[in-house]
Amino acid sequence: MKVQYPLFSQVALAQDLPEYNLKRGNVATIVEHYPMPEGEEDGYSLEGFDLPNVTIEVPASQIIPISQWQQEEMILAKLRQLSGARLLQLQDYLDFLLQKEESEHQSA
Protein backbone atom coordinates (compact mmCIF):
# COMPACT_ATOMS: atom_id res chain seq x y z
CA MET A 1 0.00 0.00 0.00
CA LYS A 2 1.39 3.37 -1.00
CA VAL A 3 1.62 6.19 1.51
CA GLN A 4 0.36 9.39 -0.04
CA TYR A 5 1.24 12.63 1.68
CA PRO A 6 -1.33 15.42 1.30
CA LEU A 7 -0.41 18.51 -0.70
CA PHE A 8 1.03 21.34 1.40
CA SER A 9 1.94 19.00 4.26
CA GLN A 10 5.39 19.32 5.74
CA VAL A 11 7.84 16.43 5.59
CA ALA A 12 11.47 15.82 6.47
CA LEU A 13 14.14 14.43 4.19
CA ALA A 14 14.93 10.80 4.97
CA GLN A 15 18.45 11.12 3.55
CA ASP A 16 20.99 13.73 2.50
CA LEU A 17 20.71 15.33 -0.93
CA PRO A 18 24.28 16.58 -1.45
CA GLU A 19 23.54 17.95 -4.93
CA TYR A 20 21.31 20.55 -3.23
CA ASN A 21 23.40 20.82 -0.04
CA LEU A 22 20.43 19.47 1.95
CA LYS A 23 20.67 17.15 4.95
CA ARG A 24 18.52 14.41 6.41
CA GLY A 25 15.89 16.07 8.58
CA ASN A 26 15.58 19.27 6.55
CA VAL A 27 11.91 20.22 6.39
CA ALA A 28 9.97 21.18 3.25
CA THR A 29 6.40 21.48 2.00
CA ILE A 30 4.89 19.16 -0.58
CA VAL A 31 3.63 21.20 -3.53
CA GLU A 32 2.95 18.43 -6.06
CA HIS A 33 2.31 14.69 -6.08
CA TYR A 34 3.17 12.43 -9.03
CA PRO A 35 1.25 9.15 -8.72
CA MET A 36 2.91 6.23 -10.47
CA PRO A 37 1.54 2.87 -11.64
CA GLU A 38 1.45 -0.02 -9.18
CA GLY A 39 4.96 -1.29 -8.49
CA GLU A 40 6.59 2.09 -9.08
CA GLU A 41 7.40 4.73 -6.50
CA ASP A 42 5.36 7.93 -6.34
CA GLY A 43 7.18 11.24 -6.60
CA TYR A 44 6.80 14.60 -4.88
CA SER A 45 7.86 18.18 -5.51
CA LEU A 46 9.14 19.95 -2.41
CA GLU A 47 9.68 23.63 -1.67
CA GLY A 48 10.68 25.72 1.31
CA PHE A 49 14.18 24.62 2.18
CA ASP A 50 15.72 28.09 2.66
CA LEU A 51 16.31 27.93 -1.10
CA PRO A 52 14.25 30.70 -2.73
CA ASN A 53 12.44 29.77 -5.93
CA VAL A 54 13.78 26.20 -5.89
CA THR A 55 11.56 23.15 -6.27
CA ILE A 56 13.08 19.72 -5.73
CA GLU A 57 11.57 16.49 -7.01
CA VAL A 58 12.10 13.36 -4.90
CA PRO A 59 10.77 9.81 -4.76
CA ALA A 60 8.47 8.98 -1.85
CA SER A 61 11.21 6.94 -0.14
CA GLN A 62 13.27 10.12 0.40
CA ILE A 63 10.69 11.81 2.63
CA ILE A 64 9.19 10.94 6.01
CA PRO A 65 6.62 12.56 8.29
CA ILE A 66 8.18 15.12 10.63
CA SER A 67 6.86 13.20 13.64
CA GLN A 68 8.71 10.06 12.50
CA TRP A 69 11.94 12.00 12.01
CA GLN A 70 11.64 13.52 15.50
CA GLN A 71 11.02 10.10 17.04
CA GLU A 72 14.05 8.64 15.24
CA GLU A 73 16.23 11.51 16.47
CA MET A 74 15.09 10.94 20.08
CA ILE A 75 15.97 7.24 19.79
CA LEU A 76 19.38 8.03 18.29
CA ALA A 77 20.12 10.46 21.12
CA LYS A 78 19.40 7.70 23.64
CA LEU A 79 21.55 5.22 21.71
CA ARG A 80 24.51 7.59 21.86
CA GLN A 81 24.34 7.44 25.66
CA LEU A 82 24.70 3.64 25.86
CA SER A 83 27.94 1.82 26.59
CA GLY A 84 29.45 -0.54 24.04
CA ALA A 85 28.28 -3.57 26.02
CA ARG A 86 24.69 -2.26 26.15
CA LEU A 87 24.79 -1.52 22.42
CA LEU A 88 25.73 -5.16 21.74
CA GLN A 89 22.84 -6.34 23.92
CA LEU A 90 20.50 -3.98 22.12
CA GLN A 91 21.71 -5.22 18.73
CA ASP A 92 20.95 -8.82 19.75
CA TYR A 93 17.49 -7.80 20.94
CA LEU A 94 16.78 -5.88 17.73
CA ASP A 95 17.82 -8.91 15.66
CA PHE A 96 15.38 -11.00 17.72
CA LEU A 97 12.56 -8.50 17.15
CA LEU A 98 13.25 -8.33 13.42
CA GLN A 99 13.17 -12.13 13.12
CA LYS A 100 9.88 -12.17 15.03
CA GLU A 101 8.48 -9.42 12.78
CA GLU A 102 9.50 -11.35 9.67
CA SER A 103 7.98 -14.61 10.86
CA GLU A 104 4.71 -12.86 11.78
CA HIS A 105 4.65 -11.15 8.38
CA GLN A 106 5.18 -14.47 6.58
CA SER A 107 2.40 -16.20 8.52
CA ALA A 108 -0.10 -13.40 7.82
Q: What is the pLDDT of residues 8-34, one digit of tens each?
A: 999 999 999 999 889 999 999 999 999
Q: Would the CA dihedral through 25, 27, 32, 33 be positive or negative?
A: positive
- Please tell me the predicted confidence (pLDDT) of residue 105: 85
Select from 45, 79, 75 the least CA-distant residue to 63: 45
Please state the pTM of the whole predicted model.
0.74
Select the more confidently predicted residue: 13 or 49.
13
